[in-house]
Amino acid sequence: MEERKVDVSIVLITWKMKDMLKVCLDTIIKFTKGVTYEIILVENYSNDGTTEMIELDYPEIMLVKNSENMGVAPARNQGLKLANGKYALILDVDMELFEDTIYKLFYFMENNLDVGLVGSKLVDSDGSLQYSCKRFPKLSTLFLRRIDFLNTVKNSKNLKNHLMIDYDHKEIMDVDYVIGACQFIRREALVKTGLYDDQIFYGPEDLDMCYKMWQNNYKVFYYPKTKIFHHEQRITKKNIFSKITVKHFFAILYLFKKYNWKISKKK
């Protein structure tokens, strides 16, 4: 990542999401004006025609073809190592832009040099708010999130505090962390923090990245003056006994053990 060739490197990873990926790419291309950018796509061995679609319809995209599913953090790091941008935008492929969000995030970062990472406001397919900015959790909180379909869990003080229910989500503010569906990262900050933790196959790699930002004296911000549709798949909630859910649980334990079982902004 030595040479800066574009304003923003947009890093996407995909696994068996061909149709959503196409929507994501088309809306990036349609609505991204005022900045130079590149798109780097890491294809996690979908075997669903994604590679052929990209090579045929989007030849300008830098495509990384994995021979197996590398997981989230390792695949994102593959993309980041190829990035030439002043900023890197980590974006999930189940996202749909409908305005010039990338330019707005770029402009915010250009004018707030102490911010290492910012996330856009995210909304569900029906336009309702997603709680994408959060307070650092207790270990118990992350496990409760997997069963928040239970009313007693959903309405618990623990979970409400974590999800920042008390915040109206209309004002720009610094937050503990924003989810990995949209993380717009300053290049210099990424050099200091290092890349995503390769030990996390799927799970709290987004929390870890934001925590490292705070530990390296960079702020993390939530920017609700623009928004993106996030057609969230919630794969660990659809089947709480699946292999990916088990990997997610172990990733949570790994993360807390990494930081001596407590995560907060205080050093």
Model confidence over 157-182: pLDDT tens digits? Answer: 888 999 999 999 999 999 999 999 99
Number of domains in the chain: 1
Give the CA distances from residue 219 to residues 23, 118, 153, 168, 177, in Å, rounded to whole numbers and listed in that order. Answer: 31, 9, 30, 20, 9
Does the structure show a pLDDT above 60 at 3?
no
- Considering the domain boundaries, does residue 247 fall inside one? no
Where residue 243 falls among pLDDT bands split at 50, 70, 90?
confident
Please check whether residue 241 lies inside any domain of the structure. no
Classify residue 260: in a domain, yes or no. Answer: no
Share of the chain above pLDDT 70, in %: 91
With 0.85 as the threshold, say if the pTM is over it. yes
Give residue 190's Cα distance to chain centre.
Answer: 14
Task: Give the separation between CA 64 and CA 53, rounded to whole angstroms.
Answer: 13
Q: Provide the domain limits for residue 188.
A: 6-137+157-235
In a domain? residue 83: yes
Is 250 in a helix, a strand, or coil? Answer: helix
Which domain CATH number covers 208? 3.90.550.10
pLDDT digits (tens, 9 = 90+) for 109-156: 999 999 999 999 999 999 999 999 999 998 888 777 766 666 676 678
Three-class SS state of 65: strand
1 occurs within a structural domain: no
The reply to whether 226 falls in a domain is yes
Q: Can you tell me the distance from the alpha carbon of 46 to that of 29, in angstroms, rounded to the nearest whole number?
A: 23
CA 180 vs CA 46, 52, 124, 207: distances in Å: 20, 27, 15, 8
- For residues 64-98, one letter each, b for 16 or more C-beta atoms within 10 angstroms of the residue's C-beta and e for the rest, the string is bebeebbbbbbbbbbbbeebbbbbbbbbbbbbbbe
Alpha-carbon gap, residue 75 to 44, rounded angstroms:
7
Find out whether 12 and 41 touch, Cβ atoms under 8 Å.
yes
pLDDT score, position 236? 45
Tokens describing residue 256: 């807390």
Q: Is residue 179 part of a domain?
A: yes
| Mean pLDDT calculated for residue range 211-220 | 97
Q: Is residue 142 part of a domain?
A: no
The answer to which of 54-58, 106-110, 189-193, 257-261 has the lowest mean pLDDT is 257-261
Q: What's the confidence (pLDDT) of residue 1? A: 43
Q: In terms of pLDDT, which residue wins out, 146 or 53?
A: 53
Identify the helix (H) or strand (E) that includes residue 227.
strand 219-230
What is the C-alpha radius of gyration for the chain, rounded to an integer number of angstroms?
18
Q: Within 10 Å of residue 127's Cβ, how many Cβ atoms?
A: 8
Q: Which residues contact 69 (CB under 8 A, 6 or more apart)?
A: 15, 44, 45
How far apart, in whole angstroms, are the C-alpha atoms of residue 193 and residue 16? Answer: 30
Helix (H, G, I), strand (E, B) or coil at 20: helix
Quick one: pLDDT at residue 230?
98
